[in-house]
Amino acid sequence: MGEGCGNDAELMNFISSANVACGFHAGDRDTMRRTAELAIEKNVAIGAHPGYRDRDNFGRTEMSLPTKEVFELVREQVLSMSEICAELRVPLHHVKPHGALYNQASKDRELAAAIADAVASVSPDLILYGLSGSLSIDEAEAAGLKTASEVFADRTYQPDGSLTPRTQPGALLENVESSIDQVFQMVESQSVMTLAGAQIPLRADTVCIHGDGNSAIEIAKAIRESILARGILVRTI
């Protein structure tokens, strides 16, 4: 959220935690503060969403940076969000890397460790959200952080548990019914069907919905209503 998509206020009605862009791939201190205020109003946990400094590509283009530089860019963004939360007298709840940084870290141990160390340097009490089964989770735990294994309501999966790259056909799930079915499978059976039709295991602690998706509000509302109707509690980790 805080990425300029214009639907943040409505989406806040259906979620329990928000990942707020920290100014590098999108947003600025003003949007960060306004998004945090919306979250407070709806009792939604606030998370920092640091990405590469790459507004032209919305932080979704892979980069090859020294681990020290990754540490500093993540730390800077998390500190910035933490300062805003302190001004508003609410805790910063978690950190979820954005876009290419997130996906690269899921498979790159050094990158994952740099991110985890940066988060821990701001506060060891922060929760790191990472792709279920990824090196991001392993390195965050090694750094002493609490983690949340993340699964996706609106993305398809590959056999190794990674997300289908956005450059490939079928990467996005924009059909509400398909998203609901995938969420129920992930939450209830801790597994997911890959794009090729194979079932693979995963751990589902938190479900992500992209705020910039064409059907983001429709999907978020439908998933929340369906989950509650099934007797599943929606809450912050």
Q: Residues of the chain with pLDDT > 70: what percent?
A: 100
7-24 pLDDT per residue, tens: 999 999 999 999 999 999
Rounded to the nearest 10°, the torsion over CA 199, 203, 205, 209 is -40
49-104 pLDDT per residue, tens: 999 999 999 999 999 999 999 999 999 999 999 999 999 999 999 999 999 999 99
Return the structure tokens found at 144. Answer: 């002493």
Output the average pLDDT for the chain.
Answer: 96
Beta strands in 45-126 (DSSP E): 45-49, 94-95
H-assigned helices in 129-231? 135-142, 176-189, 216-229
- What per-residue confidence (pLDDT) applies to 11? 96
CA dihedral (152, 236, 31, 71) positive or negative: negative
- Find the farthest-apart pair of alpha carbons in the chain and give their distance in angstroms, rounded: 48
AA letter at 96: K
Average pLDDT over residues 105-113: 98
Q: Which of 226, 218, 230, 229 is nearest to 176 (CA)?
A: 218
Domain 8-229: assigned CATH number = 3.20.20.370
Residue found under tokens 């985890």: 116
199-201 and 191-193 beta bridge pairing: antiparallel
182-232 pLDDT per residue, tens: 999 999 999 999 999 999 999 999 999 999 887 899 999 999 999 999 999
Q: Which of 63, 13, 4 is nearest to 228 (CA)?
A: 13
Q: Where are the domains positioned within the chain?
A: 8-229
Cα separation, 209 vs 183, whole angstroms: 10
- What per-residue confidence (pLDDT) applies to 215? 85
- pLDDT over 90 (residue 27): yes
> Cβ distance 70 to 20 under 8 Å?
no
